[in-house]
Each structure stands twice: as structure tokens, then as C-alpha cells.
Structure 1
Amino acid sequence: MNEKNRGFTLIEMLAVIVVLALIMVIAVPLVLKTIEGVKQGAFKNSAYAMVKAAELEYAKQVL
């Protein structure tokens, strides 16, 4: 029994899993919120571009 144990104990593995789960609980909502913000920004830019295109087309028709 002079060999060193080089493995992880069950408690250490559970601690790592708990820490990773906590990181995910914090990170996932932030990432989802960021993605939603990007989608809304893209939608606003697209809507703005369509309005400007309609204004340009109207100006062409009037002139």
C-alpha cells in the first residue's frame, strides 16, 4: 500500500459538477438575454431600412 492514489474522490467530482452547474445557471440567462438583444437590434435595423426604402420609392414616384 505504498502507492499514491492519483484519482479524484467522489466528493471532489461532485464539487466540480456543482461549480460547473452554478456557472451555467449564471451564464445561460446572460447569453440568452444577449442573443435576444441582438435579434431585436437586427429587427429594428431591418425595419428602419424598409422605411427608408419606402420613403425613397415614394420620392421617386412623386418626382
Structure 2
Amino acid sequence: MSMMRRKIRGFTLVEVLVVVVILAILAAIAVPIYLRYVASARAGEAQEAIGAIWAAAKIYHSKYGNWPNNIQLLENDGLRLDQIVQNKWEFSISAGGTGIRTITARGTRAPVTGKNVNFNAQTGVWTGYGITQD
């Protein structure tokens, strides 16, 4: 009878600890992956807008023969960025005599405050927040 009672009582402390350790290991692996995924998704907004800015800058250059040195010139020429994206990100262009060097998005609202997403127009390389290098 006592053997029967012992089997019904439940899990031993060792069994519970083994499960807790396994869950902790899985969480330690999954949480950083999830956080990188979230950062990449947030940066995707900025990348999409920078892509539109870059395309508009090339059109501007073909129309006027010079490169724009600020976003306002592109907006005056017809560029329309999503208002939600503009509320989160501030965009800037670094231009020189030979063309646009970089287009940068700087986060202005949480959770991207102070984060930068950069596009080097001369090399085509993305850097900054949420960007994974392949």
C-alpha cells in the first residue's frame, strides 16, 4: 500500500529542478534571438523609408542635375513618407560633390530613441540598429 501511495504523490524535487533547468536553457537561447528579430523588424521601417528616399534622390538628380542635400527638397519634389514612420524616425542625407554618401534614420521615439540605421549609398551597405550582416 505504501508503494502505491508513493507513486501517486507527484513529482520529486529533482524532476522539477530538471524541468526548470531545461526551461531556463531554452529561454536563454530564445530570448536573444527574439530580441534580434524585434530590432530587425523595427529597423525594417527605417530601411523601407531610406529606400524610398534613395529612389527619390536618384530621380531628383536626373531631373535637376544635382543631388539633394536634405529631405525637404525631396518632399517638395513629391516624396511622401508614411507619417507613422516620420514620427519615429528623423531622416538626413549626407551629400557631397560626387553624390549622396549616406542616408541616416535616427530614432526619435521609444523604443528606437537614439538608434541609427545607416545606408551607405556609395557601397550599398546597411549598418546600425537591427541590421544583420550576412
TM-score by length of 1: 0.72
SS in 1 for 2:77: helix
Runs of 4+ in 1 over 6 A off after TM superposition: none
SS in 2 for 1:3: helix
Correspondence 1:1-63 to 2 at 5 A: 1-4=2-5, 5-6=7-8, 7-49=10-52, 51=53, 52=56, 55=74, 57-58=76-77
Q: Over aligned residue pairs, what C-alpha RMSD do you find?
A: 2.3
More strand by share: 2
More helix by share: 1
What is the alpha-carbon distance in structure 2 between the residues aligned to residue 2 and residue 58 of structure 1?
A: 84
Instruction: Name the aligned partner's letter for residue 58 of structure 1.
Output: D
Structure with greater Cα Rg = 1
SS in 2 for 1:8: coil
What is the alpha-carbon distance in structure 1 between the residues aligned to residue 18 and residue 42 of structure 2?
A: 36
Q: Looking at both structures, which has the greater relative contact order when contacts are Cα pairs under 8 Å and sequence separation is at least 6?
A: 2
The unaligned stretches of length 5 or more in structure 1 are none
Distance 1:2 1:46, change over 3 A: same
Distance 1:13 1:3, change over 3 A: same
Name the stretch that deviates more: 37-46 or 24-33. Answer: 37-46
